[in-house]
């Protein structure tokens, strides 16, 4: 049987690279002209998480409600390496990312599920990890429910720079998936895994690799978050709202694209910071209306407005 002929689209590579460079350069330069570095940092965090969800959901169709579990695993892997082994921050980031990848490998059997079953099982797994790290009996190792303090390595400038590099790395992964045979194979798996397998695509391998890539970027930005804030509690890095925000941002902008999650974060997180903090009731109303209108009229996200009826959106 002939293997699936999947060809990348080189003409789309240059626009995507331009977007990547523009976004990364903007956030690298922004602290020089905008004093609220925390807002910029949080925006980067959600950009990475939204793109991480894009990798696993946009390209394979798996929607992980407990995606924050990888974020929290990265934060704790980083923090415990610093606390117990006095690991330098950059090396600790590698260890924290490794913890997130190991967690993803442990949860790989969940990929046998699909739809709501996968989403709920993933959410339960994330909650289980939270219960483990916040267990008072493990206070000597994980600090239990009392939180973690990393004040000795507090360095918002370096950690912000690491976040910018992580954003560039994450966007580069999405550019690769959008312009490579592997990325097209993943989309074939999303549309019809049986037909993709019959055409020569290794369905299991594709799903697992996308799963690990999404866990990698979430774990990496989780470790950087712990480095940046330096003091946090288990509920902070395993907060379900982090997953929900990232999912909504990605879906609002449009998945399986590079620009969709970027627009989703910039628009919705921008609205949240303008009206959500001071007037949460109005924010929830506007947020709800935007999502309802999106589902009714733009099910493919706002990127569908850029080039309606085509697949040329970067």
Overall average pLDDT of the 118-141 stretch? 96
Yes or no: say if 125 and 66 are a contact pair by the CB < 8 Å rule: yes
- Angle in degrees, CA 173, 174, 178, rounded to 5: 120
CA atoms within a 13 Å half-sphere pointing along the CA-CB vector of 148: 34
Q: Which residues contact 13 (CB under 8 A, 6 or more apart)?
A: 175, 179
The answer to whether residue 38 sits within a structural domain is: yes
As a whole number of angstroms, the distance between CA 37 and CA 15 comes to 28
Least confident of 57-61, 131-135, 165-169, 271-275: 271-275
The answer to whether residue 196 sits within a structural domain is: yes
Overall average pLDDT of the 21-34 stretch? 97
As a whole number of angstroms, the distance between CA 251 and CA 268 comes to 11
The answer to whether residue 207 sits within a structural domain is: yes
3-state DSSP assignment of residue 279: coil
Whole-model pTM: value is 0.94
Q: What digits encode the pLDDT tens for the residues 201-225?
A: 999 999 999 999 999 999 999 999 9
As a whole number of angstroms, the distance between CA 298 and CA 252 comes to 9
Please report, for residues 27, 35, 236, 269, 282, the alpha-carbon distance to residue 275 in angstroms, rounded to integers and kept in the order given.
22, 19, 22, 10, 7
The answer to whether residue 201 sits within a structural domain is: yes
Q: What digits encode the pLDDT tens for the residues 224-244?
A: 999 999 999 999 999 999 999
Q: Name the token pair of 88.
A: 């330098």
Yes or no: say if 139 and 19 are a contact pair by the CB < 8 Å rule: no
Nearest-10 crossing angle of helices 13-33, 37-53: 160
Domain count, the chain: 1
The answer to whether residue 58 sits within a structural domain is: yes
The answer to whether residue 3 sits within a structural domain is: no
Which residues form the domain of 134?
10-245
The answer to whether residue 283 sits within a structural domain is: no
pLDDT at 290 over 90: no
Yes or no: say if 72 and 225 are a contact pair by the CB < 8 Å rule: no
Q: What digits encode the pLDDT tens for the residues 68-108?
A: 999 999 999 999 999 999 999 999 999 999 999 999 999 99
The answer to whether residue 123 sits within a structural domain is: yes
CA atoms within a 13 Å half-sphere pointing along the CA-CB vector of 87: 19
The percentage of the chain sitting over the pLDDT mark of 70, rounded to a whole number, equals 93
pLDDT of residue 294: 79
Nearest-10 crossing angle of helices 37-53, 240-253: 70
């Amino acid at each position: 049987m002939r293997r699936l002929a999947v060809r990348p689209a080189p003409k789309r590579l240059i626009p995507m690279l331009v977007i990547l460079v523009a976004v990364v350069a903007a956030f690298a330069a922004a602290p020089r002209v905008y004093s609220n570095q925390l807002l910029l940092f949080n925006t980067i965090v959600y950009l990475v998480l939204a793109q991480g969800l894009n990798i696993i959901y946009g390209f394979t169709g798996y929607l992980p409600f407990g995606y924050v579990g990888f974020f929290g695993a990265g934060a704790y892997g980083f923090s415990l390496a610093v606390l117990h082994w006095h690991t330098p921050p950059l090396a600790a980031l590698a260890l924290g990312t490794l913890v997130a990848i190991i967690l993803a490998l442990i949860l790989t059997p969940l990929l046998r599920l699909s739809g709501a079953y996968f989403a709920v099982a993933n959410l339960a797994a994330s909650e289980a990890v939270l219960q483990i790290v916040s267990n008072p009996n493990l206070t000597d190792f994980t600090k239990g429910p009392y939180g973690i303090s990393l004040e000795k390595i507090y360095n918002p400038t370096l950690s912000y720079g690491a976040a910018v590099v992580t954003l560039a790395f994450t966007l580069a992964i999405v550019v690769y998936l959008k312009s490579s045979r592997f990325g097209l194979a993943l989309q074939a798996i999303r549309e019809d895994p049986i037909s993709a397998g019959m055409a020569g695509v290794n369905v299991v391998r594709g799903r697992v690799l996308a799963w690990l890539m999404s866990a990698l970027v979430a774990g990496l930005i989780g470790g950087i978050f712990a480095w940046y804030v330096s003091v946090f509690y288990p509920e902070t890095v395993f907060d379900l709202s982090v997953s929900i925000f990232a999912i909504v941002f990605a879906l609002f902008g449009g998945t399986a694209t590079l620009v969709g999650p970027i627009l989703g974060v910039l628009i919705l997180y921008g609205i949240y910071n303008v009206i959500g903090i001071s007037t949460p009731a109005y924010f929830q109303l506007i947020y709800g209306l935007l999502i309802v209108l999106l589902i009714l009229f733009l099910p493919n996200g706002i990127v569908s407005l850029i080039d309606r009826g085509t697949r040329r959106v970067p």
